[in-house]
Amino acid sequence: MTDWKLTAGVDCGSSAVKVVVARSWAGADGELLASVVQRIRRRNVHDVARAAFEEACSAAKVDPSQFDYVASTGDADGVTFATGHFYGMTTHARGGVFLFPEARAALDMGALHARAIKMDERGKVLDHRMTSQCASGSGQFLENIARYLGVPLEDVGQLSLQANKVEEVSSICAVLAETDVINMVSRGMSAGDILKGIHLSIAGRLVRLLRSAGAEGVIALTGGMAADQGLVETIRELVAKEGSSTKRKKVGPIEVRAHSQSMLAGAIGAALLGAYRHDQLEKLGRSVTRGVIAAPTG
């Protein structure tokens, strides 16, 4: 029998674990009951995943044994207590549609890579493109630069927005980009101007990625870098500049949107897809193990 499902989504990334507790109707619609983000830093990823999950359960006032399904995404090996796993591309697409129902593409901006994902109104992936292995377009690269400049990561966006004399750094190689930054510091450039140059470099790669995937219309920004207002504004600037170019007449317009919960998109998608999978298994008459984090018996 189809009814409301209580599920959790655990997105185990390379720099943080995100957990969402949700109640949804077969994964089609629902509400978020609690969300937690814990940075991994130098801790054991299994311990962080477990601690974040327990914190989310406490915030939602639910017992772990009450869940119909606990879905992991990202690093599956980091979540040992999940009922099942979903690929990150799938969960970010579903989470993007949850945050922005009109979105038909998502741009997942993570710590190690970025993905442009085309999807339909249900969040089903239609096509995708990923960045190359070079780190110069990643959140980890931006974090490394901020650390070198002595700037807290949460201040990067605001400093970039205040820039007034900008030089774009290399967008080809992280090593070359870091060399550019060192030269800029030695010339006395401000942290804000340097960070804006980094944002221009990353944004250029991301816009090209979106276009290579054939993305049009509303784009849901997901992942940790979606919280960087300076980067988001830089992407919008490049999209607007591109829109005025005669070379893009055959390509539809792009509107990028960020949400206060964009970082949670993968976990949201996992929770909703977990409810859908549970419902489908019930229809097939197959049982689903509940209480997945309970201590094993025997």
Q: How many residues does the chain have?
A: 298
DSSP 273-287: HHHHHHHHHHHTT--
Question: Which of 140, 141, 195 is CA-nearest to residue 167?
Answer: 195
**Owner of token pair 């593409």:** 105
CATH topology of domain 4-87+264-283: Nucleotidyltransferase; domain 5 (3.30.420)
User: pLDDT tier at 137 (50, 70, 90 boundaries)?
Assistant: low
- The two three-digit tokens of residue 21, written as one number: 């507790």
What are the pLDDT digits (tens) for 7-61? 999 999 989 999 999 999 877 778 999 999 999 988 999 999 999 999 999 999 9
List the chain domain ranges: 4-87+264-283, 101-258
> Which phi-psi region, left, alpha or beta, contains residue 92 (left: φ > 0; alpha: ψ -120 to 50)?
alpha
Contact 114, 130 (CB under 8 A): yes
What are the pLDDT digits (tens) for 151-191? 999 999 999 999 998 888 876 677 788 888 899 999 999 99
DSSP H or E segment with residue 172 = none
Residue 257 pairs in a beta bridge with 220
* pLDDT value of position 1: 43
**What pTM does this model have?**
0.90
Distance CA 127, CA 149 (A): 37
Distance CA 253, CA 231 (A): 19
What's domain 101-258's architecture?
A: 2-Layer Sandwich (3.30)
* pLDDT value of position 116: 96
More confident residue, 97 or 242: 97
- Taking each helix axis from N to C terminus, what angle separates 139-149 and 174-186, rounded to the nearest 10 degrees? 20
Contact 10, 84 (CB under 8 A): no
Question: Which of 174, 220, 222, 219 is CA-nearest to residue 198?
Answer: 174
Residue 214 pairs in a beta bridge with none
What are the pLDDT digits (tens) for 57-71? 999 999 999 999 999
Coil, helix or strand at residue 35 = strand
∠ CA 261-262-263 to the nearest 5 degrees? Answer: 90
- Give CA torsion, residues 181, 223, 241, 207, to 10 deg: 90
